Structure 1
Amino acid sequence: MKKKYALVTGASRGIGKAIALKLAADLNYNILLNYNFSEEAALEAKQLIEATGVSCELIQFDVKETEQVKTKLQIWAQINPEAIIEVVVNNAGITSDGLFLWVKPEDWHSVINTSLNGFFNVTQPLLKNMLTNRYGRIINIVSLSGLKGKAGQVNYSAAKGAVIAATKALAQEIGKRKVTVNAVAPGFIVSDMTAGVDENELKKLVPLNRFGEAEEVAELVCFLASKKASYITGEVININGGLYS
């Protein structure tokens, strides 16, 4: 029997870490945990995940580097011929905020490349096996910014908006093979990305009057990764406390 894995990108901390833990604890998936910079944080996450009774392996790559991602995934597959990746969660993303008039080209490209090209670089090499096995879950972590738009985040909004469109299109292509593709769009979530904002002021905009927790996003992702969500594909599901619908 194949050993079943879920790959979560950018999973050493924050939402990605919470998702990896939830997939391990609730769905009993072994975790392939991607990180780029922080090995120490990744090792801490690995320890927590393995405490749930599954195995966790670390895989380091920068999602925006096409050949690096392809090579690392190929090497891992060769070393683990008994493994199958059933779930892919494209969580890795970065922000580099600023008014569009003053955005530097490198800040535009790095944000776009991480979210959009990262989705392509990670998902495409793993898709063939999902289609062959006639089962898979692809879940893209997008953003309220990709749906509503946000001043000062034209690059991030463009990146996440593009991933939303890609989610819908890919779902149309591969649904017959029982591979679903969905997106989760968080609003204000307590994480590194919101560490510098004024939570007390911004939560006034949210009908539920608080920021969300990473674990709440993880609950939604875990549902979409489960067999319970077999008839859901091509969807973008908001999790924002009623801020936008």
Structure 2
Amino acid sequence: MLVLALDTSTPAVTAGVVVIRPPHELIAELEAGRPARPARVLAQHTVVDPLAHAEKLMPLVTAALAEAGHTVRDLDAVVVGVGPGPFTGLRVGMVTAAALGDALDIPVHGVPGHDGLARSLQPLPGALLVVTDARRREVYVSGYAADGRRVLGPAVVAPAALPDLLAGSGLTPTRVAGAGTGLIADLDLPVLTPPADAPAIGLVEAAATPLLTGALPGPLVPLYLRRPDATVPGARKSVLGR
């Protein structure tokens, strides 16, 4: 199964082409005592530009497909990161994924970006905290048990309030990962560095079960975690007090 992975939930714009290995191949590898991941990245292209998601994404898709030796017609599914992230960036990735799915008549699965990052780091060495920059002196956080289950978040919180959030959740992370780790340095947790192909392989592996079973994907729901800055103007007030 050939899958296109898209993520625009952070300043990094990513497009990757990933192949999911059939179950019998995985079973054979495991029975032979060889570690095996359910997915393999054929190509991944990333550009860091927080102001050019719309301009960069499709050229990255084209480049990744070309490097992998495929075209969009070869795709069996699309997986897209649904956040948490800012309104504009998320909208670009999710609208692009939905448009490709509609045009090619293939399923589109949404995966929280923190889940994808945590999945790329499995097997986890212990409880994990994933942190990304939410701007406005806040961070997006998600917590994962050692078995990979998300048990906290995603939530948006000020770094100073994070210890109280963790205490209330009962999670005691032993590692931290994500682009926002520098913003919570006071927690003094060891940092896990994701593999280079983390965005693509993590998102696809997080969606591997519904992809392989042919489950009908649910609606794409963005994890903004904040109301948009732009709002509908209210009724004009009369200067005459009427």
TM-score normalised over the length of structure 1: 0.38
Which structure has the larger Rg?
A: 2
Q: Report the structure, 1 or 2, having the larger helix content.
A: 1
TM-score normalised over the length of structure 2: 0.38
Q: Report the structure, 1 or 2, having the larger strand content.
A: 2
